[in-house]
Amino acid sequence: MSGSAATPCGSEGPQDSTMRARSGRIARPESQRSGSPISGGVSQSLAYLGHEVVGSCGMATESPRYAGALVTGGGSGIGRALVSELLARGVPVMAAALDDAELVSLRAEGGGRLATYAVDLTREGAVDELLAACEAAGIEVELLVNCAGVGLFGEHVEIDRAALRRMITLNATALSDLCAVVGGKLRARGRGAILNVASTASFQPLPRLAAYAASKHFVAALSEALAEELAPYGVQVSVLHPGTTRTAFLAGAGIAATADARGIGRIADRVAMDPSEVAAAAVEGLYRGERRIVPGLGNRAHDLARRVVPRALLSRIFGRLGRSE
């Protein structure tokens, strides 16, 4: 899937889709898109690469910490909330997502300097294409937020292999590639930050979310190692561990997060946070220089529990919850 141009204006899950393991079905369609880089503007009409675009400027309440940010998975859920949080702090943002319709609605919200780009990050060359779009839009990426991701629910041996490869490519390979390219540029400048979105799923093995949880283990380990590598050069790397959040993620995975649900679904309904809460905690933690950010009391309790409860026991507990769904 190729990227598509979109007009920026003022103004989160995954990228933003969730795969259902038993069928290998992606919850949101992956229709092919074609297009070119887009640009952002502030209170005036601007033109880049022959595409006239109109931007708007929101009133920032503080001086921007970063010259610009790139947020993947920015069309919905936590990624979208992170876009809004950064715009409110005066940071120009390039929001990338798979679904162009989500980006259209994001631009309609107004509130800051925003550029958008629809792109499938599992496609070869998509990372370079996205970074070229940032440059064309005049967005200097001093903050990289890797929020794009998908989940697979079900028995691992029943998962469609192509769907599994797409998930790993998005959750791990594309994220690693963006960290390498943008991280190298930030190191050369001697400033900037990377925020990678992992999950509390990375805290323990998760039966029926096995590959998804493993991909988030990768994100967490990579982030903590990069934090050490880049710190001497003035570059901060943080990892966010959200727990269950009120987004389309669980529904797309076939898990009913309602009060009358069973097992995982019932727990999800009780402990879920709003994306705006997660985003606010993430940015606050980022601005404080925290390397690990675990938002919400319940998620922090989970973080504590996994340090004292044997991993094998946690795995069995979550396995039984999954079977009761």
In terms of Cα–Cα distance, which of 28, 37, 41 is closest to 3? Answer: 37
Q: What distance in Å separates the CA atoms of residue 237 and residue 209, rounded to the nearest whole number?
A: 26
CB 272 within 8 A of CB 247: no
Stretch (H or E) spanning 299: helix 297-308
Instruction: Clarify whether 287 is annotated catalytic.
Output: no
Q: What distance in Å separates the CA atoms of residue 294 and residue 263, rounded to the nearest whole number?
A: 23
CB 94 within 8 A of CB 141: yes
Establish how many alpha carbons lie within 13 A of residue 308's alpha carbon, considering only the half-sphere containing its beta carbon. 5
Q: What distance in Å separates the CA atoms of residue 308 and residue 310, rounded to the nearest whole number?
A: 6
What's the sign of the alpha-carbon dihedral 73, 78, 81, 85? negative
Name 168's Cβ contacts closer than 8 Å, sequence gap at least 6.
211, 215
**Catalytically annotated residue among 66, 212, 233, 287:** 212
- At 273, which amino acid appears? M
In terms of Cα–Cα distance, which of 124, 112, 28 is closest to 73? Answer: 28
**What is the dihedral angle through the alpha carbons of 264, 15, 123, 4, rounded to the nearest 10 degrees?**
150
Angle at 283 between CA 278 and CA 288, to 5 degrees: 125
Stretch (H or E) spanning 240: strand 236-240
How distant, in Å, are the alpha carbons of 16, 106, 132 from that of 80?
10, 8, 21
The structure tokens 């629809």 sit at 118
Q: What distance in Å separates the CA atoms of residue 292 and residue 40, rounded to the nearest whole number?
A: 31
The structure tokens 């995982």 sit at 264
Active site residues: 212
